[in-house]
Every structure is written in C-alpha cells, then in structure tokens.
Amino acid sequence: MLGYMMFETRCAGCERPGAAICTTCRIALIGRLPQTQEHEVIAAVPFAGRARDVVLSLKYRNRRQVARHLGSLLVNRLVESGQYGDLDSVTWAPTSAKRRRHRGFDQGEEIARTVARQLGLPCRRLLDRRGVPVTQTGRTRAERLDAPEFAARPDVAGTSVLVVDDVVTTGATLHAARDALLQQGARDVVLAAVASTPAPSSSRSRGKVLPFRQLTAA
C-alpha cells in the first residue's frame, strides 16, 4: 500500500490523486488568453494560477507528462492566430547544458515535440546556447532583457521556423533565438510560448516573485 501511494499519479495543478492534470485544472487552463504585450510572442495562457503551477511542475518536479497538455494548449492558440500554415519545422530555445543535465531534460524541447507532432511538422534542434548560462528564473523584467546568446545551425536557411518556449516575460530570449535564425538565412520565424507573464502594471505582485506552492510545501 505504501509503495502504491509513493508512485500515485497526482494532478500537477492541484495535487489531487488521479490524472496528471485533473478535469478541474484542465478547465481552469482554457478560456483565459494573456494580455496583449509588446514582445510579439504568441502565448496560450497567462503565467498565473493553475497554469503557473502546471508549468513549474514540469520544470522543477519532473512532471514531464504535462508537456503534452501544455503543447496542446499552444497548438490551439497557434491555430486561432492563423500563424502556423507556412511553417517548415519546429524548434525550441534551449536551456543551458547545466540545467539540462540537472533536470534530465529540456522543458522547451518536451513542449516543442508535442507541438510539432500535432502540427504534423518535424521537430529539429536548430539552436545552440552560447556563453555563460544565466538562469531567467527569479530575475526581474529588467534583468531578463539581458538575453542569452544563441547560434543557429546553417541548414535553417530558406525555411520558416516556429520557436517554442515554456514562459515568456520580456521576450528577450525568444527574440535572441529569432535573430540567430534570421542571421543564418531563415525565411521567417514565428515565436510562441505556453504562458506569458502578466505585465507589471496589471499585477498586484509587481516586483515580487510569488512562491511556488509545491516547492515551498516542504
């Protein structure tokens, strides 16, 4: 009995036993579009509430099974936006090698592979991260403008690419990825993220990073 409880599947949004994402949390994740912001990134949901818990459970609690649901949310948003019809491939803004080793996976890649599969497109690693890795987690919006540096692979020339990430705040990371792809001759680059952080003026927690319920419970 104890062994069963240790490996019991729980909802990534509310921790109820049963499914990776329960019906209540699935409903909570749909129907809420993020505010229009200047970063020009297509996003499926605001990075708040249950959506925030689910995304962070993927990043920090190894709930890789939720990537499929998050990817589906993003595909639905892309279809609504009409900006997916002329794409040749899907890629992701890679995390640092250190974080990938620590987690055992790259959450952006997990989401990108779901998106590619549902759109019927190849998912290709087209970007490499350069320089000293600086995590974006916990940084202010101003600090996040200091974007990582990417190098794009040369076989991207002449193609149209969708770049996927888990969360967008200022858009600096995705814009850096787009710049690298365009410098290598990409014909067009579309940027998308599962969740968009609310603008400071619309958030009561301006300048504050809210604690992740699941991580602080211990």
Structural domains in the chain, sorted by start: 33-200 (3.40.50.2020)
pLDDT at res. 15: 86
Residue matched to tokens 């818990």: 53
Residue reference for tokens 């619309």: 202
What pairing do the DSSP bridges indicate for beta strands 42-46 and 149-152?
Answer: unpaired
pLDDT tens sequence across 31-86: 566 666 667 899 999 998 888 999 998 888 888 888 999 999 999 999 988 877 78
Could you say which DSSP state residue 211 is in?
A: P
Give buried/exposed letters for 141-165 (b at 16+ CB in 10 A, else e). eeebeebbebebeeebeebbbbbbb
- Contacts for 75-82 with beta carbons within 8 Å, 24 or more apart? 75/114, 75/115, 75/118, 75/119, 76/44, 77/33, 77/42, 77/43, 77/44, 77/192, 78/42, 78/115, 78/119, 78/162, 78/192, 81/42
For 156-213, the pLDDT digits (tens) are 999 999 999 999 999 999 999 999 999 999 999 999 999 998 876 544 433 333 333 4
Q: What is the pLDDT of residue 106?
A: 92
What local confidence, expressed as pLDDT, does residue 196 receive?
A: 92
Whole-model pTM? 0.79
